[in-house]
Amino acid sequence: MKPFQNPAAANVFTACPPAVRKKMLALRTPIFETAPVTDSVGKIEETLKRLEPACTTSKTKSGSAVRSD
């Protein structure tokens, strides 16, 4: 598992019930595995959007944020 970059996002994962956390981590993993090997996607940053963990990229026109809550 990739370590969390954003402590606030990590706290949301930690606060979730174990079954939900497992599913959220299952979504997070392929994002961080796929992005670095996909030329059209920039560096992935973890943030909170509307108090939900989100993976975004600063590269323009490369897609939308993925919120995992």
Does residue 34 fall inside a structural domain? yes
pTM for the full model? 0.78
1-39 pLDDT per residue, tens: 889 989 999 999 999 999 999 999 998 999 889 888 888
Residue 2 maps to a domain? no
Let me know if residue 51 belongs to a domain: yes
Inter-residue contact 54 to 6 (CB < 8 Å): no
Q: 34: domain range?
A: 7-67
What Cα–Cα distance (Å) separates residue 27 from each residue in 49, 55, 60? 16, 10, 23
- Asked whether residue 36 is domain-assigned, the answer is yes
- The whole-angstrom separation of Cα 19 and Cα 33 is 22
User: Taking Cα atoms as reference points, which of 35, 40, 61 lies closest to residue 5?
Assistant: 35
